[in-house]
Chain A
């Protein structure tokens, strides 16, 4: 017979994975909505957030119960602490998706800006970071967790690029005042979107750190890692 404790641990893991899937979908949909100027999809992201919040509460609930009733030790203890931290990161990533969706709703009210290639790349990197973070948890793979920090540097680079493109755009834009204000507004909202993505990437990196803590009981959070730049 399977121990009740192990079953509850599985339950905790499943709830977290469920939450991870929803969060990943929220980022996917939010970026899709932005790229395609799809108001309906943006609206769906905003409405879907409640489900992620509920799952976060459920993770906390199960974790608290396990801590109080089972006095877990060693890896079990780290796993339970780790899942609560990861669920917190996921919840905040989902909030970034909501923020992106809200900016998108604004942008849809105005004619589109010129295409920004750095934004496409940023979206790709951040989605792939989220994917890597979740896989590192599922596979208990610390290597992937460490790789996230490298990806994070790339995300930062693209975020800066988006900012530079948009500042240049604001400075050079047409002299007509009304148009100029609209242009600045669109640009600022788009910069906020890039910031949200960058933030989501940071949070995904944190998830990797929690995975390293669960798997190897090491703290990679504040230690410098030398990446070979290949």
Chain B
């Protein structure tokens, strides 16, 4: 089990209506590793990410073919409870999206949705999540103040804490640092390094340097296809395919 892949996609196709946004994607994602998805705008990175916790189900007219397995279990199986799937596979978005509530309530949100009412448990889990997201020291004295008073970088770590509070296995991050300044970005990147000890992380990023800095594995997408996957160091120093080379050296199109 320890060495079994955390997530696998096999011959995954995805359609928005008639438009095929993903074509024959097969990839294995190992546990406790960071996998970066890179590729030009519109190549399907976010779409793929959303397939992994069935967020695309929320978009009408979409359709999935092929299979995705989490710990060997088909997540599109009719027996799967989508709410518990999304608890296991958490998501952090490009723009921090705190609710107009207190810092505490933002982090406790997912726990309450999952039916946890016990004050002590809530308090412990919120504290743990804020520590994991490296925000605790900055907010412990203002935990009952509005989350909207936090800086952009703090808000993003708050959203990470919110995702972590429900104790997911997998964390999906869609350009989590693209709206942040370099210092806040570095904090998020350091955090990712920390978090991979306990979580499996998949991150979409437009910054090749960021992918190179934070990930173990990098997957290059182009026009709905997965072109090349490899360990990050190899992919950025000697990619196997010319298409990958052209993209990462900025000689595309």
Chain B residues, Cβ within 8 Å of A76: 249
Q: Are A74 and B250 in contact (CB under 8 A)?
A: no
Q: Are B208 and A73 in contact (CB under 8 A)?
A: yes
Chain B residues, Cβ within 8 Å of A72: 249
Chain A residues, Cβ within 8 Å of B245: 74-75
A75-B249 contact in complex given A217-B237, A217-B238, C-beta closer than 8 Å: yes
Determine if B76 is an interface residue (Cβ-Cβ < 8 Å). no
Determine if B248 is an interface residue (Cβ-Cβ < 8 Å). yes
Q: Which listed residue (B212, B236, B248, B250) contacts A5, Cβ 8 A? A: B250
- The size of the chain A interface, using a CB distance under 8 A, is 11
A86 to B235, CA, bound (A): 24
For residue B40, give the distance in angstroms from its CB to the closest CB of chain A: 15
A100 to B13, CA, bound (A): 69
Q: Are B239 and A74 in contact (CB under 8 A)?
A: yes
Chain B residues, Cβ within 8 Å of A75: 238, 245, 249
For residue B137, give the distance in angstroms from its CB to the closest CB of chain A: 32
For residue A97, give the distance in angstroms from its CB to the closest CB of chain B: 34
Q: Are B237 and A78 in contact (CB under 8 A)?
A: yes
Would you call the interface of chain B mostly helix, strand, loop, or mixed?
helix
Q: Are B238 and A73 in contact (CB under 8 A)?
A: no
Complex: chain A residue closest to B208, CB-CB: A73
A120 to B236, CA, bound (A): 47
Q: Are B238 and A74 in contact (CB under 8 A)?
A: yes
Q: Are A78 and B238 in contact (CB under 8 A)?
A: yes
Chain B residues, Cβ within 8 Å of A78: 237-238
Chain B residues, Cβ within 8 Å of A217: 237-238
Determine if A7 is an interface residue (Cβ-Cβ < 8 Å). no
Q: Are A74 and B248 in contact (CB under 8 A)?
A: yes
Chain B CB within 10 A, most for which of A71, A72, A73 = A73
Chain B residues, Cβ within 8 Å of A73: 208, 212, 236-237, 248-249
Chain A residues, Cβ within 8 Å of B141: none
Chain A residues, Cβ within 8 Å of B248: 73-74
Complex: chain B residue closest to A71, CB-CB: B209
For residue B171, give the distance in angstroms from its CB to the closest CB of chain A: 26
Determine if A77 is an interface residue (Cβ-Cβ < 8 Å). yes
A72 to B212, CA, bound (A): 12
Complex: chain B residue closest to A217, CB-CB: B238
Chain A residues, Cβ within 8 Å of B249: 72-76
Q: Are B238 and A71 in contact (CB under 8 A)?
A: no
Chain B CB within 10 A, most for which of A72, A74, A77 = A74
The 8 A CB mask of A190-230 against B (1 = contact, 0 = none) is: 00000000000000000000000000010000000000000
Within 8 A of A (CB), among B217-253: 236-239, 244-245, 248-250
Determine if A3 is an interface residue (Cβ-Cβ < 8 Å). yes
Complex: chain A residue closest to B234, CB-CB: A217
Chain A residues, Cβ within 8 Å of B238: 74-75, 78, 217
The 8 A CB mask of A62-73 against B (1 = contact, 0 = none) is: 000000000111
Within 8 A of B (CB), among A64-104: 71-78
Chain A residues, Cβ within 8 Å of B237: 73-74, 77-78, 217
Subset of 5 A-B contacts with CB under 8 Å: A73-B212, A73-B236, A75-B238, A75-B249, A76-B249
Known contacts A73-B208, A76-B249; 6 additional CB pairs below 8 A are: A71-B208, A72-B249, A74-B244, A74-B248, A78-B238, A217-B238
> Sorted from nearest, which 5 A-B pairs have the closest CB atoms?
A217-B238, A73-B248, A76-B249, A73-B236, A74-B245
